[in-house]
Structure 1
Amino acid sequence: MAQIATPKNQQARSASNPWATAITIIRQQGALIALVLVFVISSISFNGFLTSYNILDNVLVSNVPIGLIALGMTFVIITGGIDLSVGSTIALSSVVVALTSSHGMWFALAAAVLTGLAVGLFNGFIITQMHVPPFVATLATLLGVRGLALYFSNEHNVTVMSSDLINFGNGDLFGIPNPVIVLVVAFLIGMLVLNYSRFARHLLAIGGNAEAARLLGVRVNSTLLGAYMLSGALAGLAGVFIAIQTFSGSGNLANGYELSAIAAVVVGGTLISGGEGSVFGTFVGVLLLGFILNILNFLSGAGVTLNPFWQDVVRGAFLLVVILLQSRLANKKLERV
C-alpha cells in the first residue's frame, strides 16, 4: 500500500536525503548564493569593483528601471501570467514625462505613472474580459504601445524640461542616490504586500489553480486586473527614471527590458508556471544580473574584446538555464512525494 506523503514524513525524508536537502537550498537560496559568489570573486579580480561609484551608479542606479518592472512582473508571473508590454510602457511613459515636464515635476510624474496604469488596465481587461491569453494580449500591447511612443515623440528624443525632476533623479540622501532609495522602498512595500496581504494570497491561489481559486470565492478577474495594473504603474515609474537618466523621452528606449525583468524574476525563484514567488528573490535576481553585466564591462576594460550584444546572450542564457533548473527540481520534488 502506498504511503501518503504528509508534511511530517516529507520533512523526515528531506532530513535523511542529502539530495533533497540540496534541492531545497538551491530552490530557496540559489540566487543569493550565486550573488555572494559573484560579488566576492569580482571584488578579488577587478580593481575598482568595490568603489561606491561602481556599486551605486554602475549597478544599482543603472538597474532601477529593470528592478521596478521586475517587481511588477513578480506579481504577474505568480498568477501564471506574463507581461511583455513593460518595455514599451517604459518608452511611452518616458515620452509622456518629457512632454509634460514643463508643467512641473509632480504633474509629469503623475502623468507617467497614470500612463503605465492605463496600459496595465488595458492588458487586464483584454485578458480577463476578452479571455485572450496573457502572452498574446501583452505581445499585442507591446507592439501597439511602442507605436504610440514613436508617434507622440515624432520619432525624436523629447527633452525633459523640469529641472526639479532632473535634480531629484540625480540627487541623493546621505550618499545614497534617490533612485536607489525609491527602488528599495518599492521592494520593501512589495515584500509586505506579498507576505501579508489578502491580495497576494489570492494571486498565489490563482497561480496554483485559477478554477479552484474561483470556486473558493476568489474574485479572479479583479485580482488579475490588479496585478496587471500594478505592473503597468511600476513600468510607468520606471519610464520616469530612464527619462531622467537619458535627460529625454524616446520611443526607442527600453527595448528588451521585459526579457531582463522576466530573467530577474525567474532567477530569483518565482516559478514561471505561477503559484510560487518571492519579492526578495526578485531583488536578488536583479542584483545578480546587474553585477554579471557589470563584470562584462570590466572585462572589456581589461582588454577582453566583447561585443555589446553579449549582454543579451547572457540574459537569454540565464533565463533558459534557470527555467530548465526549475523544471528539473520540480520533477525531483514530485518524485519524492
Structure 2
Amino acid sequence: MKTTTDLGSVTSEKVEVTAAVVSRRERSARFAQRNGALLVLLGLGLVMSLTFDSFGTASNLSQIAQQASFYSLLALGMTFVIFTGGIDLSVGSVFALGGVLGAWGASHNPLLGLVLPLAVCGLFGLVQGTIVARTAVPAFIVTLAGLLFARGLLLVLTDEGAITFKVPEGSWFLTLAQGSFLGLGYTVWLAVLLFAAGMLVQYRTSYGSTLLAIGGQPLAADLMGLPVARSKMIAYTASGMLAGLAGALTASYTASGVTTLGVGLELTAISAVVLGGTALMGGSGSVLGSLVGMLLLQVIANLINRLGLTDSNWQAVVNGAVLIVVATAQIYLSRVQARPRKAIG
C-alpha cells in the first residue's frame, strides 16, 4: 500500500513538472509571437548604431520615421482586414491612385486634394468589402481584381503615365507632408494618432473584438448574431481610405502625382502586419505590432542602402523572404500554444 502511494506521488509530481514545462513553452511561444518584431527591431537598431556612426543621428532616424509614416497607414488598414481572415491586395494600386487624385485635386483646390482621394479610395474599398462580405468570392480574388482596376484607372487618368499632375508652389497642401513639428514631420504625428485610434478600436470597442471573432471563428461569429458583413465592409472601406490618404500625403511630399509608385507595396504592408504578430489567417494580432513591423522593415531598408544594394528590387527580395519566414514561424508558434498537454506516467 505504501509502494502504491509512493508511485502515485511520483506520478503526480511528474505530471506537475510536465504541465509547468508545457506552460513555460506556451508562454514563451506567445511572447515570441507578440513581441518578436520589437526585440529584433531593438537588436538590429543597436547593432547598426554600433556599426554605422550616422545611423543613430536625429536626421537619419527622422527620415526612417518619415518613410515609415506613409506606408504604416497601409499596414494599419491591412491589419483590420487581416483580423477578419481576409486580405487586401489592392492597397498598392489604391495608394498610387490616391496620389494622382491628390495631386490633381490640389492643382484646383488644396482641400480637394485631400478630400478626393479619401472619398474615391474609400468608395473603392467599400465596393470590395461589399463583394467580399455579401458573396462567396474570396477576398484574394476580389482585391486582385481591385488591384488591376485601380492601376488601370490610374493609367487612364494619366494617359498611360504621360501626364504628371503637379501641386502648385505655395499651396498649403504641400505642408501636409513637408511640414514638421518638434523635429518630426506632420505625417509621423498623424501616423501616431491614427495608430493610437486603431488601438482604441481594437481594445476598447466591440467592433475590435468582433473583427477578431470573425477571423478566429467565422461560423460561430455568424451564429452569435455578430454583424459579420457590416464589420467586413467597414474594414475594407477603412483600408481603402487609409491607402488613399497615404497616397495623397505622398503627393504632398513629392509635390506631384507619381504614377509608378505603389508597385508591390501590398507585399510590404502584409509583411509588416504579419511581422508584427498578426496571424495571417486572422483571429489574433495587434495594431501596435503592425507599426513595429513597418518600422523594422524600414530599418532593414536603411541597412540595405548602407550595404550599397541600392537597387529597389533588393527590398522586394527582403520583404518576400521576411514574409515567408515569419509566416512559417507564426504557424509553428501557434501550434506550440495549441499543443495538448500530455502527462508522463
Tell me, yes or no, if structure 1 residue 22 matches structure 2 residue 28.
yes
Offset, 1:104: 2.7
SS of 2:285's partner is coil
The residue aligned with 2:61 is 55
Contact 2:95 2:244 in 1 (8 A): yes
Contact 1:153 1:250 in 2 (8 A): no
Contact 1:14 1:20 in 2 (8 A): no
327 and 123 in structure 1: CA distance in 2 versus 1, 3 angstrom threshold: same
Alpha-carbon RMSD across the aligned residues, in angstroms, is 1.9
Q: Specify the structure having the higher radius of gyration (Cα).
A: 2
The residue aligned with 2:165 is 158
Contact 2:177 2:250 in 1 (8 A): no
The residue aligned with 2:271 is 263
Tell me, yes or no, if structure 1 residue 206 matches structure 2 residue 210.
no
Contact 1:202 1:223 in 2 (8 A): yes
The residue aligned with 1:4 is none
Corresponding residue to 1:228 among 220, 232, 236: 236
The residue aligned with 1:113 is 118
Corresponding residue to 2:321 among 308, 314, 317: 317
Supply the distance in 1 between the matched residues of 2:312 and 2:134 (Cα, whole angstroms): 41
The residue aligned with 1:40 is 46
Contact 1:92 1:250 in 2 (8 A): no
SS of 1:336's partner is coil
Out of 141-150 and 16-25, give the one that drifted further.
Answer: 16-25
Offset, 1:130: 2.9
Tell me, yes or no, if structure 1 residue 123 matches structure 2 residue 128.
yes
The residue aligned with 1:329 is 333
Q: Deviations over 1:22-57 (max 9, x none)?
A: 212211211111111011101110021011211112
Supply the distance in 2 between the matched residues of 1:242 and 1:234 (Cα, whole angstroms): 12
Contact 1:73 1:262 in 2 (8 A): yes
After superposition, where does 1:300-315 map in structure 2 within 5 Å? 300=308, 307-315=311-319
Supply the distance in 2 between the matched residues of 1:250 and 1:125 (Cα, whole angstroms): 29
Out of 257-266 and 234-243, give the one that drifted further.
Answer: 234-243
The residue aligned with 1:68 is 73
SS of 2:85's partner is coil
Offset, 1:252: 2.0
Aligned residues: 324
Amino acid aligned to 2:333:
L
The residue aligned with 1:132 is 137
Amino acid aligned to 1:192:
L
SS of 2:283's partner is coil
105 and 15 in structure 1: CA distance in 2 versus 1, 3 angstrom threshold: farther
Supply the distance in 2 between the matched residues of 1:22 and 1:333 (Cα, whole angstroms): 9
Supply the distance in 1 between the matched residues of 2:22 and 2:211 (Cα, whole angstroms): 34
SS of 1:291's partner is helix
Q: Deviations over 1:150-198 (max 9, x none)?
A: 1112213211236211123111112221010111111111011111111
Amino acid aligned to 1:177:
G
Contact 2:103 2:252 in 1 (8 A): no
Amino acid aligned to 2:166:
T
Tell me, yes or no, if structure 1 residue 89 matches structure 2 residue 97.
no
Taking structure 1 as the reference length, what is the TM-score of the superposition? 0.92
Contact 2:125 2:240 in 1 (8 A): yes
250 and 19 in structure 1: CA distance in 2 versus 1, 3 angstrom threshold: same
Amino acid aligned to 1:157:
T
Amino acid aligned to 1:104:
N
The residue aligned with 2:227 is 219
Tell me, yes or no, if structure 1 residue 189 matches structure 2 residue 197.
yes
Offset, 1:251: 2.9
SS of 1:250's partner is coil
Instruction: Mark the runs of 5 or more structure 2 residues left unpaired by the alignment.
Output: 1-14
Taking structure 2 as the reference length, what is the TM-score of the superposition? 0.89
Offset, 1:210: 1.4
Offset, 1:308: 3.2
Out of 248-257 and 283-292, give the one that drifted further.
Answer: 248-257
Corresponding residue to 1:179 among 187, 193, 200: 187
Amino acid aligned to 2:38:
L
SS of 2:86's partner is coil
Contact 2:25 2:336 in 1 (8 A): no
106 and 327 in structure 1: CA distance in 2 versus 1, 3 angstrom threshold: same
Contact 2:275 2:323 in 1 (8 A): yes
Supply the distance in 1 between the matched residues of 2:121 and 2:204 (Cα, whole angstroms): 25
Q: Which runs of 4+ in 1 moved over 3 A?
A: 12-21, 305-308
State percent identity of aligned pairs.
Answer: 39
